[in-house]
């Protein structure tokens, strides 16, 4: 595919926002003919980041309406995903039975960065995303 495709969404950082954002990302990937197993990985990783924004970001200072943003940009076979909130990243020792989200995200994507300079921006890169071979189904 030439050029790029982009999805940008903003929702309230509420539990009920996670599923619609995941579904929108799934539809975006399917429209780009991303292979099913790769769609599963992308949506799983995004879901963990979205859940973190909803659960953790606004515990310390709710600045007006808490938001979570999902940006997806597909260009030349690579996908960049940003999950953005305006809250405060909470550094802490992992709770023994928790702390899987960031590990799952790191395991799934090719590269991940967490920028906490202004809210939290989790960026995940997926390189050479596999596409469906046969366009007939
Ligand atoms: N968007 C965020 N805003 C604030 N803090 C965050 C954010 N994302 C992650 N964190 C911090 O990083 C920690 C680790 O996140 P991670 O997703 O790995 O584990 P968890 O959310 O605590 O548990 P689990 O994902 O297993 O349910 C969180 O407990 C939280 O302190
Ligand atoms: Mg988590």
Q: Atom 14 of ligand 1 has which residue's CA nearest to it? A: 99
- Residue 16 belongs to a domain: yes
pLDDT computed for residue 9 by the predictor:
98
Q: Which residue in 86, 27, 19 sits closest to 58, CA to CA?
A: 86
Q: For residue 100, how far is its CA from the centre of ligand 1 (angstroms)? A: 8
Half-sphere exposure of 93 (CA within 13 A, CB side): 1
- Residue 63 belongs to a domain: yes
The three-class DSSP label of residue 16 is helix
- Residue 84 belongs to a domain: yes
- Residue 132 belongs to a domain: no
How many distinct structural domains can be found in the chain? 1
Judge contact between 102 and 3, C-beta under 8 A: no
pLDDT digits (tens, 9 = 90+) for 2-25: 689 999 999 999 999 999 999 999
- Residue 131 belongs to a domain: no
pLDDT digits (tens, 9 = 90+) for 23-76: 999 999 999 999 999 999 999 999 999 999 999 999 886 667 899 999 999 999
Q: Which range of residues forms the domain containing residue 83? A: 4-126
- Residue 70 belongs to a domain: yes
In CATH, what number is assigned to the domain containing residue 42?
Answer: 3.30.565.10
Half-sphere exposure of 69 (CA within 13 A, CB side): 15
- Residue 20 belongs to a domain: yes
Q: For residue 126, how far is its CA from the centre of ligand 1 (angstroms)? A: 21
pTM of the model as a whole:
0.95
pLDDT computed for residue 64 by the predictor:
78
- Residue 92 belongs to a domain: yes
Q: For residue 16, how far is its CA from the centre of ligand 2 (angstroms)? A: 16
């Amino acid at each position: 595919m030439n050029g790029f495709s982009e999805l940008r969404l903003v929702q309230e950082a509420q539990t009920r926002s996670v599923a619609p954002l995941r579904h929108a990302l799934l539809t975006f990937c399917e429209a780009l003919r991303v292979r099913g197993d790769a769609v599963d990985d992308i949506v799983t990783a995004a879901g963990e980041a979205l859940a973190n924004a909803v659960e953790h970001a606004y515990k310390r200072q709710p600045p007006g309406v808490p938001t979570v943003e999902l940006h997806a940009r597909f260009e030349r076979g690579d996908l960049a995903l940003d999950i953005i909130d305006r809250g405060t990243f909470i550094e802490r020792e992992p709770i023994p039975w928790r702390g899987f989200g960031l590990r799952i995200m790191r395991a799934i994507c090719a590269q991940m960065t967490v920028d906490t300079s202004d809210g939290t921006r989790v960026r995940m890169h997926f390189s050479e995303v596999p596409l469906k071979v046969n366009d007939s189904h």
